[in-house]
Amino acid sequence: MKRQKILVIEDEPDILEVIEYNLARDGFRVVTARDGDAGLRLARAELPDAVVLDLMLPGIDGLEICRRLRADDVTRTLPIVMVTAKGEEADIVVGLGIGADDYLTKPFSPRELVARVRAVLRRAQPQAARTGDDRLEFAGLVIDRARHEVLVRGDPVTFTPTELRLLHFLGAHPGRVLTRDQLLSRAIGEHAVVLDRNIDVHVRSIRKKLGAERERLETVRGVGYRFRDDQD
């Protein structure tokens, strides 16, 4: 089971340290940012599983970050837990309205924070991923990385190792737009099986092999690709 990665955007060093320590102790990988610009950059570059977002930040504030994360196809479905100071109730309402998943009011207990993060992760977890990291099951499509097997409407179809990695990576992030760079570095980069680093060529081939399920791989013009889950 891979460790989930949490991005924490918080400018107060003491609070940041407490959050980071407690998430790490609970088994999460943690990346941190002290201001909005760095936070937005890391959200795109690191593909975290969730974000803990302080509202009052220097530069771009938390609400604007939330807005931008939701407007960006790469981070659109990223779970967000807002952290607010007392007296920011109006901001909480706005934040939830623009897509934050939950919030905590300072001061909060570290246990409470970890519990909230776990809750948004559970809610965000795609149905398919619950059957295990290696095997993803969708209606009409099974992607099994460990057994190197893809079933399209019950029929086994042969995929190259690179194609299988790409398809599995896309399928593990349903609904999220992944850029070509992300697909290269995350799905292919760490493995030496790359024959052709042109993602589009691989995707074309994958689509062909998916046959009746080809619509699952959606092209997002100028950005990359998105795997469509059944709820889409």
Give me the residues that bind Ca ion (CB under 5 A), please: 11, 54, 56
Instruction: Tell me which residue of 92, 109, 138, 91 sits closest to 18, measured CA to CA.
Output: 109
Give the C-alpha separation, 78 to 125, whole Å: 11
Backbone angles phi, psi at 177, to 5 degrees: -80, 130
Minimal distance, residue 58 CB to Ca ion, in Å: 8
Minimal distance, residue 221 CB to Ca ion, in Å: 37
Considering beta carbons, is residue 54 or 91 the nearer one to Ca ion?
Answer: 54
| Sequence-separated (6 or more) residues with CB below 8 Å from residue 137 | 128, 131, 143
Pairing of β 224-227 and β 217-220: antiparallel
Residue at 54: amino acid letter: D
Give the C-alpha separation, 58 to 62, whole Å: 9
Considering beta carbons, is residue 69 or 206 the nearer one to Ca ion?
Answer: 69
Minimal distance, residue 146 CB to Ca ion, in Å: 44
Minimal distance, residue 21 CB to Ca ion, in Å: 18
Considering beta carbons, is residue 62 or 126 the nearer one to Ca ion?
Answer: 62
Considering beta carbons, is residue 43 or 55 the nearer one to Ca ion?
Answer: 55
**Which residue is closest to Ca ion by CB?**
56
Classified as helix, coil or strand, 103 is: strand
42 with 33: CB under 8 angstroms?
yes
Paired residues of 30 in beta bridges: 6
Minimal distance, residue 89 CB to Ca ion, in Å: 16
Considering beta carbons, is residue 54 or 213 the nearer one to Ca ion?
Answer: 54
Minimal distance, residue 16 CB to Ca ion, in Å: 9
- The contacts found for 190-197 with CB under 8 angstroms, 24 or more apart, are 191/161, 191/165, 193/161, 193/162, 193/165, 194/162, 195/162, 196/162
Considering beta carbons, is residue 61 or 144 the nearer one to Ca ion?
Answer: 61
